[in-house]
Amino acid sequence: MKNLFYIGASGLLLFEIANVYFIMPMPGSQRLNSIDVAYFLHSWRWAFRGVFGCLILLGGLSAFRAGRWGPFWAGLALLAVSIVTYAANFEMAADSMFYQPSSLTFKNTAENKVDKERIVIGVEINGQARAYPIQFIGYHHQVQDTLGGKPIIVTYCTVCRTGRVFEPVVNGRLETFRLVGMDHFNAMFEDKTTGSWWRQANGEAIAGTLKGQTLPELEITQISLAKWLALYPNSLVMQPDTKFQEEYDSLSNYESGKRKGKLTKRDSASWEEKSWVVGVEVSSGVKAYDWNQLQKKRIINDMVGYLPITVVLASDNKSFTALRRATPGQVLTVKNDSLFDEGGSAYNLLGKSYTPNRPDLLKVNAYQEYWHSWQTFHPDTKQFK
């Protein structure tokens, strides 16, 4: 009977390790196509624990009575199982490492305490604008808010270096999410209603009953707070939750790419795994632009498939945007963070026309992202060279 005890202890130990291994950044785990295995283990976790727990109980008495060293080895086995189980569920679980703010606080320009050189995810809906600093969102991974009468979920994955904003509505109902782990180094959320897992990079459900569905994505701008407030002077700015100041401080050098950690460092060379790119996805295709090249050119007039797209980097070397030009023949230039074409029309960074009777340029979503992340989730991407 004592063998049942050790089979149960070994099985529970291996299960708890496997249950966290596939959804956290452990050696080799994020390069495996193992999401279905991970979801199966997670979905049946209490069944596995129940079976292995019963084996431990059935053989426990025999294991502790097995000779002189029986109590020692049986006790050691239980201690190991207890330590691993606690660590896997309370120390290494994603939502035990990254907490949501207890409340969201926003201030206007006059009362704002956030450094204006910080990079934010800017969102404007129905005439209302808000700025979400990535120093804060990067720790929380997601915050849920309501803007312009629309519920939104603002997300950021520091390991992918990319932000997305979605409408958290599933099958016509408002949904809530928790951070459950990551897949291929991308943050992954679990919805409360069905327990399905959703990928941050594109809002797609990749496991569970809702697999294949996607959350509606909203338009965003990644921009310095100073530039955002110049464009939207009435915008509100998310303020720090003082309970997490230490966590925010740990990300103070993230935006500049000066972190040394393997997951969030920057490769200064082009087209390396951790190189920065600006990714653009439109109906006619997907393309990535090297950040180093964009810094040199400042503006790139290009075609993505059959659509004329212009990518612009502002003078602060932080703020960028992608716009759809009116025609392939329209060539834009940039001066003092304003755009001009050969016909004399002028636009701001977001494509708003300064010229009477000239329509705005259509803004398209563009994302700063690590190259490894962009090409993982956009395998058909082309590279601008």
pLDDT, one tens digit per residue, over 26-52 is 999 999 999 999 999 999 999 999 999
Whole-angstrom distance, CA of residue 385 vs CA of residue 375: 15
- Kindly give the pairing relationship between strand 332-335 and strand 338-341: antiparallel
pLDDT at 102: 84
For residue 382, which phi and psi values (nearest 5 degrees)?
-100, 160
CA atoms within 13 A on the CB side of 313: 19
Whole-angstrom distance, CA of residue 122 vs CA of residue 106: 13
pLDDT at 245: 95
Residues ≥6 apart with Cβ < 8 Å to 244? 99, 101, 136, 139, 140
The class that CATH gives domain 276-384 is mainly beta
Mean pLDDT in the chain?
96
- Kindly give the pairing relationship between strand 186-191 and strand 177-183: antiparallel
Owner of token pair 């992202």: 369
pLDDT at 372: 97
pLDDT at 289: 98
pLDDT at 283: 95
Whole-angstrom distance, CA of residue 94 vs CA of residue 19: 12
Supply 295's token pair.
């810094």
User: Quick one: 69 exposed, middle or buried, by C-beta within 10 A (0-12, 13-18, 19+)?
Assistant: exposed
Whole-angstrom distance, CA of residue 73 vs CA of residue 66: 9
Whole-angstrom distance, CA of residue 214 vs CA of residue 353: 33
**What does the domain layout of the chain look like in residue ranges?**
2-92, 106-250, 276-384
CATH architecture of 106-250: 3-layer Sandwich (2.102)
pLDDT at 1: 86
Q: Express each pLDDT in 60-82 by its tens digit.
A: 999 999 988 999 999 999 999 99
pLDDT at 178: 96
Whole-angstrom distance, CA of residue 142 vs CA of residue 151: 13
- The dihedral built from the CA positions of residue 72, 77, 83 and 85, taken in this order, carries a sign that is negative
Q: Which of 314, 353, 299 is nearest to 226 (CA)?
A: 314
Using H for helix, E for strand and C for coil, what is the string for 219-262? CCEEEEHHHHHHHCCCCEEECCCHHHHHHHHHCCCCCCCCCCCC
Whole-angstrom distance, CA of residue 200 vs CA of residue 155: 7
Amino acid at 164: R
DSSP 148: T
Element housing 288 (H / E): strand 285-290
**Crossing angle for the helix pair 70-86 and 2-21, nearest 10 degrees?**
20
Residues 314/320, Cβ–Cβ less than 8 Å: yes
Supply 179's token pair.
């951070």
Residues 320/313, Cβ–Cβ less than 8 Å: yes
pLDDT at 180: 97
Q: Which of 216, 159, 147 is nearest to 188 (CA)?
A: 159
pLDDT at 130: 98
User: Do the domains at 106-250 and 276-384 have one common CATH topology?
Assistant: yes
pLDDT at 47: 98
Q: Which of 77, 109, 106 is nearest to 7 (CA)?
A: 77
Stretches in the chain below the pLDDT threshold 70: none
Residues 275/291, Cβ–Cβ less than 8 Å: yes
Supply 168's token pair.
């958290």
Owner of token pair 């991974």: 141
**DSSP readout, 347-369?**
E-TT--B-STT-PPPEEE-EEEE
